[in-house]
Amino acid sequence: MSLPDFKLLRPRTVEAAIDHLARFGANVRVLAGGTDLIPSMRQKLFEPEYVLDLRRIADMRGIKPQPDGAVEIGALTTLRAIETSPYLRQYYPVLTEAAATVASPVLRNMGTLGGNICLDTRCLWYNQSLTWRKGCGFCIKKDGDLCHVAPGGTKCWAVFSGDTPPALLCLNAEIEISGPTGIRRVALHDFYTGLGDDYRKLQPGELVTRVFLPEASANYRGIYRKLRVRGSIDYPLAGVAVVMKNSNGHVSDARVGITAVNPAPMLVKGATELLTDKVMDDALAEAVGDLAARTAKPLTTSALTPEYRREMIRVFTKRAVLAAASN
Ligand SMILES: Cc1cc2nc3c(=O)[nH]c(=O)nc-3n(C[C@H](O)[C@H](O)[C@H](O)COP(=O)(O)OP(=O)(O)OC[C@H]3O[C@@H](n4cnc5c(N)ncnc54)[C@H](O)[C@@H]3O)c2cc1C
Ligand code: SF4
């Protein structure tokens, strides 16, 4: 599949990038590592007149510990840099674990944290060539008005399939969004809409420029588990992140995040309350697994059946909380 023709814009500053976005509006797509955008352009999911390549913006790269113990990560920081950062591995291990499972080493050398957060949602009826989609009929997510996954409905259920966002949600991460009206900082859990088509709250002229991990989320044990068809290179079909602090044989705090089973990554509501002040055992881990499985709403958007993916959320959550309590 060939790439459609486009003009490349290569700004060196965030300001220049935002100027380009303001000038060319809906005709631009942002490129960070390009590992998701380029295959999508080959499938003619996006046919922009301009591609805004962010890679020359040095200011958007790097892992910068702050004096108050928090850490700032540029949106262009590669997943490989995150995976191999001794600082993140020591203080925020759930993020390094999740980053290390994305795709393959080659793709992690190119792919960025910002691109992983902004990743387009996926569906078996959408991530296909133009010829395939024409043959089967276009759908709500692009060019059509029906859903093959939930016929009769008016909503798109395409699934969010990034690995790092559930880990970032567990760490109460915030993101910096830069746009024509200035800079705003939002909690990551407010960034996703829960819709498969219009999945993130980002205006056309805006960029995600930085990610912040608070000091209060440092030093938690962190575990990430994912289900995929090919262990060496694949999107998650179900993913679970857990952070936990233990003291005197009790869980003193914990959060559980899931991905690849809903149109947005999300924290499992009630998991913190269920775990806090308890002694970890099989029954408790099982109860958290049940809660996570009830939060997951997998549909036929992905390879493997929804039933199996939901069951694996239960199993992985149980295993992950047991591991976080014991390591
Ligand atoms: C074979 C294969 C396997 C993969 N497996 C996985 C996997 O296991 N797990 C996983 O999470 N991903 C997987 N991916 C997807 C992709 O490699 C990663 O999600 C990667 O992190 C995307 O980052 P990127 O910088 O390459 O994003 P890009 O492709 O450059 O961009 C992705 C999207 O985000 C937008 N965007 C990027 N950066 C910004 C920004 N700073 N501000 C605003 N918008 C932005 C782009 O416009 C685009 O819509 C896979 C891809 C392939 C091809
Ligand atoms: S969930 Fe429905 S509308 Fe969304 S991409 Fe899949 S088939 Fe299309």
Task: Give the model confidence (pLDDT) of 288-315 as tens digits.
Answer: 999 999 999 999 999 999 999 999 999 9
Residue 268 confidence (pLDDT): 98
CB of 206 closer than 6 angstroms to any ligand 1 atom: no
User: For residue 150, which ligand has an atom nearest its CA?
Assistant: 2
Cα gap 162→265, rounded to integer Å = 8
Q: How far is the CA of 37 from the centre of ligand 1 (A)?
A: 7
Rounded distance from Cα 26 to ligand 2 centre (Å): 22
Give Dmax (Cα) for the chain.
62
Cα separation, 83 vs 162, in Å, equals 15
User: What would the DSSP string read from start to end of 270-293?
Assistant: THHHHHTTPPP-HHHHHHHHHHHH
Alpha carbon dihedral 277, 281, 282, 285, in 10-degree steps, equals: 30
DSSP string, 80-131: HHHHT-HHHHHH-HHHHHHHTTSS-HHHHHH-BHHHHHHPPPB-TTTSS-HH
For the Cβ of 119 lying below 6 angstroms from any atom of ligand 1, the answer is yes
What pLDDT does residue 327 have? 58
Q: What pLDDT score was predicted for residue 96?
A: 98
CB–CB of 127/43 below 8 Å? yes
CB of residue 156 inside a 6 A radius of ligand 2: yes
> For the packed helices 282-295 and 306-326, what is the interaxial angle rounded to 10 degrees?
140
What pLDDT, in 10s, does the model give residues 213-258?
Answer: 999 999 999 999 999 999 889 999 999 999 999 999 999 999 999 9
Mean pLDDT of 184-207: 97
The mean pLDDT of 20-43, rounded to a whole number, is: 96
**Can you give the pLDDT at residue 25?**
84
List the residue whose alpha carbon is closest to atom 5 of ligand 1: 103
Burial of 159 (0-12, 13-18, 19+ CB in 10 A): buried
Closest ligand (CA of 234): 1
